[in-house]
């Protein structure tokens, strides 16, 4: 894949793209957990009338739904990168 930056063509390797994809997916998982925990805290602490518990379950269920897929992706990438 090439990109233009200041008139110069830069090449991005498939390995770099794969690494970025895996890293982004891992951070996505951290984001789901972060916002789930934040919502759980807000259930008790926030004066705002909002269904924070529903938001907690939305984010936590998304984490659970994607966890195995994301961990398998990271494990596959790490085992592949150790052999190369």
In a domain, 25, yes or no: yes
Cα 30 from Cα 65, distance rounded (Å): 13
In a domain, 65, yes or no: yes
Look at the chain and report how many structural domains it folds into.
Answer: 1
Q: Kindly report, residue by residue over 19-53, the tens digit of the pLDDT.
A: 899 999 999 999 999 999 999 999 999 999 999 99
Nearest to 64 by CA among 24, 23, 22, 36: 36
**Host domain of residue 19:** 15-83
Q: State residue 83's pLDDT score.
A: 67
In a domain, 56, yes or no: yes
In a domain, 68, yes or no: yes
Query: What pTM does this model have?
Result: 0.74
Query: Quick check: 81 pLDDT over 60?
Result: yes
């Amino acid at each position: 894949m090439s990109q233009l930056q200041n008139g110069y063509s830069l090449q991005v390797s498939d390995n770099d793209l794969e690494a970025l994809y895996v890293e982004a997916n891992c951070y996505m998982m951290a984001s789901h957990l972060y916002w789930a925990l934040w919502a759980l805290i807000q259930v008790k602490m926030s004066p705002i009338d909002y269904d924070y518990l529903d938001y907690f379950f939305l984010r936590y269920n998304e984490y659970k739904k994607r966890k195995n897929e994301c961990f398998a992706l990271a494990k596959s990438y790490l085992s592949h990168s150790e052999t190369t």
